[in-house]
Structure 1
Amino acid sequence: MVQQSEIPYVIGNKSFTAVAINTAAKAGEWIKSKLGEFNSLNRKSSHRDLVTEIDKGAEAMIRNLLHTYFPEHSFLGEESVGQESESFEKAIRGAMEAEYMWIVDPIDGTTNFVHGFPFYSVSIALAHKGEVIVGVVYDPSRDEIFVAEKGKGAYVGGQKMRVSAESKLTESLIATGFPVSRQEAYDVNMKGIGALASRVRNIRTTGSAALHMAYVAAGRLSGFWEVGLNPWDLAAGVLLVTESGGRVTDMNGEPYSLKLRNVLASNGAIHDEFQRVLEDEGAVL
């Protein structure tokens, strides 16, 4: 469990970051204790889009803990947003307009969790009027927590993070994922893998967008891209990357916002080349 002594940064007098860290750690430890013990496995939008009672229980735990400290704040969680496009659009408008909105993915990498593959995470972000100001990604399997505050840097294990130094795609280890619902997005991502496979050092697809983004921030990956994501997949990770000196845009090079669903994140140095290869091969939406 992450100790309070490891938290060197707060915002104002409300300690948003401290609350986010402790909430992610508590939820993550509970999730880890339930590994292999879920009783129900359901599908949402496709056979790849899974949810368990652990996802729902973790989200409820996170919501309750956050509202204990900040009862006036709004909350956007993966399991509380309907699958219909109207519900999604309404949720995003709310996130953009709210004074404070917590954006949460209780288990980013549910398929990995279901199969006992130790690459899943708890992702918690706080947006102020549509701008992400706190991002926390917790990996229960490694008891590793990644933390960022707007304008104050990003940290892992109490150490400040910096993105990797690779300046060319040929030197780069990058990652992607497979969208769980939209067939069009799945096809585009596969085209991207084909376009990049021979141009990079290697590609990883390990199943948690939030952890992939955290690894870009920590310099373990040079870049990450994926089509068809959601704000709860990305919000915390985006702040980790940018506060570590990296760059995040959509697939066409446009700046990040909470509406973004197709992401390109990198150490910055390879970003233009990365984006150009995907665009030239038609691997963008």
Structure 2
Amino acid sequence: MSSAALHPMLNVAIKAARAAGAVINRASLDLDSIKVGTKATNDFVTEVDHAAEAVIIKTLLEAYPQHGILAEESGKEHGNSQSEYQWIIDPLDGTTNFIHGLPIYAVSIALAHRNVVQQAVVYDPTRNDLFHASKGRGAFLNDRRLRASRRTRLSDALVGTGFPFRKGDNFKRYLKLFEEIMQQTAGVRRPGAASLDLCYVAAGYYDAFFETGLSPWDVAAGSLIVQEAGGLCGNFTGESDFLHQREILAGSPKIYAQLVPLLAPYSRVIQTEELATEAPAPAGAQPKSRRATLVRDPSSDVPL
């Protein structure tokens, strides 16, 4: 699809994503000089995340100054918080990969109107791959139309996922889930950037992808790209309200339908606090537990 045929708001998102990608690519040439901070255990942020986010926000607000912004590193500090339009941004999805020099990371930008994602861009700067979609107009990788996989048997399916890495994650519970999925599929993969994982479902590289603990900026753009490629997105019980549920299942329709009953018993992991944005406790206050609270599905026999 030529740039002339793209929605104007999508064109602005693409411009912003490429500008952020240029920042990231320049920084990748000298990783040793990058300052790395920690938001929580194994949850890193670099000056590159901040620089990429700044150039995205500048580009978007120059074009649409009345729009709202939801960005991973700065929250809702920019734009018009009352707008019906909200840009949902992850400036560098896969920061841990980036700081290790593993070239699997991306820029993710979505535009939601009244909480429905309308435009989506995921840009892989190391490969110069641009995944994009406009609601109702299909999904593309560069100029090539994307189609979700046509595989129908779960035993033939290649499935992407994310591994738990935060304090408080119930590792035994995840291992039980992985054991079940691994034995019923052709393979499980974990590259480490959810936005790209979703695009891989849209492209048919994966037949499905699932992960818990994700935020809206991890999945907003990729989920529209999946849906516009003919795939399905939902939470682990198959409901479409996944954006703020901290769990997502995406896949081609036949494989998605077979994974829902496997994942449903593991649904609804509710953490008592957001570890990545935990505020420091006032002086003299008792420390909060960092343990996740797991709400058990009464119909499930899965040990929590």
Instruction: Tell me which interval the TM-score lies in, with the shorter structure as reference length.
Output: 0.7 to 0.9
Matches within 5 A, 1:1-285: 6-11=2-7, 15-35=8-28, 36-46=31-41, 48-81=42-75, 98-181=83-166, 183-184=168-169, 187-279=172-264, 282-285=265-268
- Larger RCO, structure (CA 8 Å, separation 6 or more): 1
- For residues 135-193 of structure 1, the C-alpha deviation after alignment (integer angstroms, 9 at most, x for no partner) is 10000111000000000000012011000111111011111012443633655443321
Against the structure 1 CA distance between its residues 188 and 10, is the aligned structure 2 distance closer, same or farther, given a 3 Å change threshold?
farther
**8 Å CA contact 2:66, 2:83 repeated in 1:** no
Q: Distance in 2 between matches of 1:114 and 1:143?
A: 19
The residue identity in structure 2 corresponding to 1:40 is K
Three-state SS of the structure 1 residue aligned to 2:253 is coil
- Runs of 5+ in structure 2 lacking a partner? 269-304
The residue identity in structure 2 corresponding to 1:205 is R
Shift of 1:258: 3.0
Shift of 1:28: 0.7
**8 Å CA contact 1:189, 1:226 repeated in 2:** no
Three-state SS of the structure 1 residue aligned to 2:147 is coil
Three-state SS of the structure 2 residue aligned to 1:125 is strand
**8 Å CA contact 1:191, 1:283 repeated in 2:** no
Q: Distance in 2 between matches of 1:187 and 1:125?
A: 34
Q: Distance in 2 between matches of 1:198 and 1:52?
A: 38
The residue identity in structure 2 corresponding to 1:10 is L
Against the structure 1 CA distance between its residues 248 and 60, is the aligned structure 2 distance closer, same or farther, given a 3 Å change threshold?
same
**8 Å CA contact 1:98, 1:130 repeated in 2:** no
Q: Distance in 1 between matches of 2:171 and 2:226?
A: 24
RMSD over aligned Cα, in angstroms?
Answer: 1.9
Q: TM-score, normalised by structure 1?
A: 0.87
**8 Å CA contact 1:171, 1:201 repeated in 2:** yes
Higher Rg? 2
Q: Distance in 1 between matches of 2:233 and 2:139?
A: 15
- For residues 55-112 of structure 1, the C-alpha deviation after alignment (integer angstroms, 9 at most, x for no partner) is 011111110111111111110100013xxxxxxxx99xx98x7411000000000000
Against the structure 1 CA distance between its residues 157 and 10, is the aligned structure 2 distance closer, same or farther, given a 3 Å change threshold?
closer
Three-state SS of the structure 1 residue aligned to 2:136 is coil
Deviates more, 1:64-73 or 1:33-42: 33-42
- Runs of 5+ in structure 1 lacking a partner? 82-89
- State the percentage of identical aligned residues: 39
Q: Distance in 2 between matches of 1:186 and 1:29?
A: 37
Deviates more, 1:28-37 or 1:220-229: 28-37
Against the structure 1 CA distance between its residues 41 and 268, is the aligned structure 2 distance closer, same or farther, given a 3 Å change threshold?
same
**8 Å CA contact 2:226, 2:233 repeated in 1:** yes
Deviates more, 1:28-37 or 1:153-162: 28-37
Q: Distance in 1 between matches of 2:169 and 2:83?
A: 31
Q: TM-score, normalised by structure 2?
A: 0.82
